Amino acid sequence: MRSGDPLLDHLFRRAGFGAAAADLQAVAGMSYSAAVDYFVDFEKLPDDVDSKINAPEYVGVTARGQFSPSTNIEDARQRWLFRMLHSTRPLQEKMALFWHNHFGVGYTKVAGAVGALVGTKMMANKAGETPGPQGHYELVRQMALGKFRDLLIGVAQDPAMLVFLDGRTNTRAKPQENFGREVMELFTWGLGHYVENDVYAAARVFTGWNLRNVPGRDGNDPAAYQEFIYNSGQHDTTAKAFTFPINGGSRTIPARGAAAGIQDGMDFMTSLANHPETARRLARKLWNFFVSDLEEAPAAFVEAVADVYLRSDTDMRAVLRYILKSPWFTNPGNFNARYSWPVEFVVRAMKEIGWAGFSVDTARVPLTNMGQTLFEPPNVAGWQLGRAWFGTGAMLARMNFAATVASNQKFNLARSFSAADRAQPGRVLNTMLQRLTAASFSATETTELLNYLNAGGPWTGSDTQMNAKAPGLARLVAGSGEYQFV
């Protein structure tokens, strides 16, 4: 719902997933700068969102047997949607989504290799819920606004990544190129800064970065897990020559004894993380995610953000604080200047239309039809963004999800209008447009929405009419083109 301040609404859509009344309450009376700090310094608030699952005033989850998001992937998807909807730390979930897209690890390949139970744990095990390391998503969520270098190293040692890009079988005799290539092409500086020989050398850097299997009693034992191990016997100890300097110095990682060989990878990733081209590439991706995907990032933005990133030792918290307070972000020309991702659309629709008596599980299949299954990016490059979200079938799925939520919330919607609103269709429309934060409708479109309210018989504002027109109108607004922008 709208706050009355378009800039604050913009902040909620971009740094969060839109705002319900309670979200606005949390920042009431704050200056814009203080509100940004509230989003960015989210660790000042407790991470208590999971304690709200199954509490009556929140959206529901649908358990098949015990609700078990660390070991059941469908439950993991539900928990993440629940967190997006109800966390008081929305930027944490937003950045986790950004990183999930940046490091595009997918569940199917992981589970295909290690089974559904251990595969789910690799994707989504919450620290302490079952034995073993936290899952990929919990890792990027925990490090959402930490140092990028630490995140990169964490992801390189993440069991899900070691399965997904085959590092677990990277050995001295036969180096495996998959991770070594993608860490340069996709995770850091991008095409154009390296050659095939660098891919060969990078593969050798990560030889011996493997997994250790800790089996359970049987295939259903949630105690089973796998964890990162530096397997020194499988590390290639010879020197690795690159076409670019490592850590500002030599182009060669020197030969090292096997015991110290893990340092190769640390040096290599530190060098990539600290490189200005990595800073620029991240700046461009952050521009598209937080500021606009209708225009390319201007050079001044890229250089300014890269500068903050490099001077802060790759600190994403400093970067996000800078971006959200920058004149590019606060420019009203960039409000609603991004195509929403399906999960953003779905969560905002629930936040704004309502969730009482609704289950987030209802969103799972529609999200797949919209082209975004959580934990299942189409490949390691993540999802195709922007206009690519808006295939015909995907747009139909959005319109139909708007219908599903509106239908579910039919009576709550109808009852939410005051007697004064009910007296006039124009007031019903105005109130609905305060509730659903679509980009502004043109005069023609506003007339079409009013025509809908007046279609089929004279306006009376009766309960019967409101029970039909309120959800119909909510569905039209949330299913409109205007609502697909954030």
Partner 1 sequence: MATKVTRREFIRDGVAAFTLSFAAPAFLVDIARAQGAVSRNLVVIYLAGGNDALSTLIPYTDPFYYSRRPAIAVPAAQVLQIGTDAAGKALGLHPRLTGLQNIFNQGRLAIIQRAGYQNSSRSHFQGTDIWGSADPSNAAGTGWLGRYLDSLPSPIDPLAAWNTSGATYRALTGSTIAVPSITDPRNYSFASPNSGAEAINERNAAIRLASSAGPDRPNLAFVNTSAMEAFATLDRVGSVVNYTPSVTYPNNGFGQALRTVAGSISKGIGTRVYWVQTGGFDTHSGQGNAGGGGYATLMSTVGDGLLAFYNDLQNQGLLGSTLMIQFSEFGRRISENGSQGTDHGAGGMMMVLGGGVRGGIYGTAADLNPRPDNPTLENAGGDVTYETDFRAVYAKVLDGWMGTSSTAILGGNFGANAPAFL
Interface residues with partner 1 (CB under 8 A)? 113, 165-166, 169-171, 173-178, 181, 185, 191, 196, 199, 294, 339, 369, 371, 378-381, 384, 387-388, 390-397, 399-400, 403-404, 406-407, 410, 439, 442, 444-445, 448-449, 451-452, 455-456, 468, 471-472, 474-476, 479-482, 484-485
- Give me the phi and psi of 212, to 5 degrees please: -115, 130
Contact (CB, 8 A) for 51 and 58: no
Between 125 and 207, whose beta carbon lies closer to partner 1?
207
Cβ distance to partner 1 smaller for residue 104 or 222: 104
Least Å from the CB of residue 484 to partner 1: 5
* Nearest CB to partner 1, comparing residues 68 and 292: 292
Q: Specify the residue, 245 or 378, whose C-beta has the smaller distance to partner 1.
A: 378
- Residue 189: enclosing H or E segment and its boundaries? none
Q: Which is nearer to partner 1, 87 or 480 (CB)?
A: 480
b/e burial code for range 384-417 (CB count within 10 A of at least 16 → b): eeeeebeeeebeebbeebbbbbbebbbebbbeeb
Rounded least distance, CB 18 to partner 1, Å: 18
146 vs 391 by CB, closer to partner 1: 391
Residue from 150, 101, 144 nearest 314 by CA: 150
Q: How far is the CB of 150 from partner 1 (least distance, A)?
A: 26
Q: Which is nearer to partner 1, 47 or 177 (CB)?
A: 177
356: amino acid identity, one letter: A
Query: What's the CA gap between 365 and 354, in Å, rounded?
Result: 19
Q: Using alpha carbons, select from 293, 320, 301, 298 the residue that is nearest to residue 385.
A: 293
Looking at the DSSP bridge assignments, the partners of residue 209 are 230
Nearer to partner 1, 116 or 399 (CB): 399
Closest approach of Cβ 203 to partner 1, in Å?
A: 8
Our CB check for partner 1 shows the closer of 222 and 371 to be 371
Q: Kindly state the smallest distance separating residue 428's Cβ from partner 1, in Å.
A: 14
Tell me the one-letter amino acid at 294.
Answer: L
CB of 189 to partner 1, least distance (A): 13
Q: How far is the CB of 115 from partner 1 (least distance, A)?
A: 14
- Between the alpha carbon of residue 122 and those of residues 35, 78, 116, the distances in Å are 35, 17, 10
The CA angle 388-398-332, to the nearest 5 degrees, is 70
What is 23-54 written as a DSSP string? HHHHHTT--HHHHHHHHHTGGGS---GGGGTT
Residue 50 near residue 79 (C-beta atoms within 8 A): yes
User: To the nearest whole angstrom, how small is the minimum distance from the Cβ of residue 22 to partner 1?
Assistant: 25
- Burial class (CB within 10 angstroms; exposed 0-12, middle 13-18, buried 19+) of 88: middle
3-state DSSP percent of the chain in helix, strand and coil, to 5: 60, 5, 35
Q: How far is the CB of 469 from partner 1 (least distance, A)?
A: 8
